[in-house]
Amino acid sequence: MHELVLICREDDVETVSDALMEVESLAVSVEDADANTESEKALFGEPGMPAPKSGWERSVVKALFPSEAEATEAATLLLAQEWAQDVHVQTIQAVAEQDWVRLTQSQFAPVEITSDFWIVPSWHEAPAQAKRVMRLDPGLAFGTGTHPTTRMCLRWIAQHQDLAPTWDRVLDYGCGSGILAIGAALHGARQIDAVDIDPAAVTSTNDNAKANGVTLNAGLPDQAHGEYPLLLANILATPLKLLAPLLCQHLAPGAHLVLAGILERQADDLKAAYAPWLKLEVSDSEEGWILMTGQRA
């Protein structure tokens, strides 16, 4: 395998990417040319919504080809186009053969949630200071503890474990890998319903619950019923706004609502969406993401 690496302007990213796919590139990726510098800029988007930008002001476009000759031919064809005057070849390089399983595993180290609560992949030993450990390997469903939204939710659970005696029913809405439901179970919650629209997430949640020796009920959203003293939802801002009436009808009197998947700039929209039922506040923030919580009267 050989990789063709190009630098281009933001306005050319989409055209360059399309052209590379037309010349049968195996894969195309776009990165910030200024990553890891003071000029680095984050681009946040949500599924189903228009992308904020197709690339960065200075973008690196990488395309994978089966051979050096094919990568070179693709570069020659691309640079011959009239619109490509601001596109520059940075390099054509061989892609080293790798043990992809070992490489993937190396990217997932134990994750500290609190000083004594850790998420640990199965191929790692738990840190000595870990008093509570969740075993979780990366898979098809979202949620490994590496994302700020997941960490903030789990941190909230750990920091409020004194409330666990009241968590006789818990709903994890949009459970993904089941990480929040399992985290609640490890901190003393009981009768936990974990629901998701994706059947693969339901399967993943059941498998991860077994691996951690906890009992929960995983299923599709229609499995959620009645009222819960604790409701957790780590999704994204747009679906959280649309789900406000549904989620709030599942809140028992005095229940805590914990929402994540929200960017700092989206806080006011979420507050307005949930105002008819409760007052949401920002209770944590990390890397541009926020955790919003509220308690029903």
- pLDDT 10s per residue in the chain (297 long)? 899 999 998 888 899 999 999 998 999 998 887 666 666 566 555 555 555 555 667 889 999 999 999 999 999 999 999 999 999 999 999 988 766 666 666 667 899 999 999 999 888 899 999 999 999 987 655 677 889 999 999 999 999 999 999 999 999 999 999 999 999 999 999 999 999 999 999 999 999 999 999 999 999 999 999 999 999 999 999 999 999 999 999 999 999 999 999 999 999 999 999 999 999 999 999 999 999 999 999
pLDDT at 258: 98
> What span, in angstroms and rounded, lies between the C-alpha atoms of 228 and 240?
17
In degrees, rounded to 5, the angle at the alpha carbon of residue 52 between the alpha carbons of residues 16 and 239 is 130
As a residue count, the chain comes to 297
Name the token pair of 47: 């599924």
> What span, in angstroms and rounded, lies between the C-alpha atoms of 153 and 148?
9
Q: Determine how β-strand 217-219 pairs with β-strand 228-234.
A: unpaired
The pair phi, psi for residue 59, each rounded to 5°, is -110, 145
> What span, in angstroms and rounded, lies between the C-alpha atoms of 197 and 221?
6
Cα 155 → chain centroid: 16
pLDDT at 7: 93
149 exposure class (CB count in 10 Å sphere: 0-12, 13-18, 19+): buried
Alpha carbon distances (Å) from 56 to 9, 79, 261: 7, 20, 23
Enter the pTM of the model: 0.69
Contact 199, 221 (CB under 8 A): no
> What span, in angstroms and rounded, lies between the C-alpha atoms of 141 and 199?
10
pLDDT at 33: 77
Q: Taking the chain, what is the end-to-end CA distance rounded to the nearest angstrom?
A: 60
Contact 247, 273 (CB under 8 A): no
